[in-house]
A = this chain, B = another copy of it.
Amino acid sequence: MKNTTVNSPRSRGRPRAFDRSAALAIAGETFWQLGYEGASIAELTAAMGITPQSLYAAFTSKADLYREALDWYQSEVGAFAAAALEKEDVVAAFKQLLMEAAKQFCRPDRPRGCMISMAVLTCARDNDAIADMVAREREATMKALHDRIEQGISQGQLSTDTNAMALARFIGAIIQGMSVQARDGASAKDLEAVAQLAIEQITRFRAQSATD
């Protein structure tokens, strides 16, 4: 009904009857819950309320739909992480990142854990390309953590002998582990306790001149 692509020059034929971005959000949640291999086209179309035909017309293929779903997740769901990293103080940024993750991973209205952390860790040989794509997303996240740490060092907030890559991997590991435990039923409180222990370790890298 509503044309979601803002500046499209009003295409000719019959307009699509469903909201593309709303359908994408549902597909994203389905992939998030079931994984790439676990979410069949039948499952996806049933959740989205459209036919396979409409799905392929709008999203080209299952792999392309998954790619778009990852983008949707990053921008719509993972936005809290980017927001946290923008905090002025680097320790406060990671504190907010981890504490917010603990909450987000246990939201009752959504699949548990982080979609990207847990996606396609194992898969059939046919789907190796998909696995590589998600692995690259995880590496990009790791690089973002690393860069934020480097920034904290250069701003004098973290000790100059901080191993940025090791600390980034440490924080990343905590987030990935929190994801798994959220899936297994851990509560937000459980995860906040884990986050707190990680934050204490991060805090030890504060530069001596900085406030604590």
Residues of A within 8 A of B (CB): 32-35, 37-40, 43, 113, 117-119, 121-125, 127, 135, 138-139, 142, 163, 165-167, 169-170, 172-181, 183-186, 190-191, 193-194, 196-198, 200-201, 204
Contact of A122 with B118 in the complex, beta carbons under 8 Å: yes
Residues of B contacting A43 in the complex (Cβ-Cβ under 8 angstroms): 124-125
Please measure, in the bound complex, the distance between the C-alpha atom of A35 and the C-alpha atom of B163, giving whole angstroms.
34
Residues of B contacting A119 in the complex (Cβ-Cβ under 8 angstroms): 122
Residues of B contacting A118 in the complex (Cβ-Cβ under 8 angstroms): 121-122
| Given A194-B170, A201-B200: A33 touches B122 (CB 8 Å cut-off) | yes
Contact of B193 with A197 in the complex, beta carbons under 8 Å: no
Residues of B contacting A135 in the complex (Cβ-Cβ under 8 angstroms): 183-185
Contact of B177 with A190 in the complex, beta carbons under 8 Å: no
Contact of A177 with B183 in the complex, beta carbons under 8 Å: no
| Given A121-B121, A124-B38, A183-B135: A172 touches B177 (CB 8 Å cut-off) | yes
The majority secondary structure among interface residues of chain A is helix
From the candidates B177, B198, B204, name the one contacting A175 in the complex (CB within 8 A).
Answer: B177
| Given A165-B190, A172-B177, A178-B173: A184 touches B139 (CB 8 Å cut-off) | yes
Please measure, in the bound complex, the distance between the C-alpha atom of A62 and the C-alpha atom of B127, giving whole angstroms.
21
Please measure, in the bound complex, the distance between the C-alpha atom of A118 and the C-alpha atom of B173, giving whole angstroms.
13
Q: What's the nearest-Cβ distance from chain B to residue A49, in Å?
A: 18
From the candidates B34, B173, B180, B183, name the one contacting A124 in the complex (CB within 8 A).
Answer: B34
Residues of B contacting A197 in the complex (Cβ-Cβ under 8 angstroms): 166-167, 170, 201
Please measure, in the bound complex, the distance between the C-alpha atom of A209 and the C-alpha atom of B173, giving whole angstroms.
32
Q: What's the nearest-Cβ distance from chain B to residue A177, in Å?
A: 2
A166 to B, closest residue via Cβ:
B193
A–B complex contacts, Cβ < 8 Å, 12 sampled: A34-B124, A35-B121, A35-B122, A43-B125, A121-B179, A163-B193, A166-B190, A167-B197, A170-B174, A173-B181, A174-B174, A201-B201
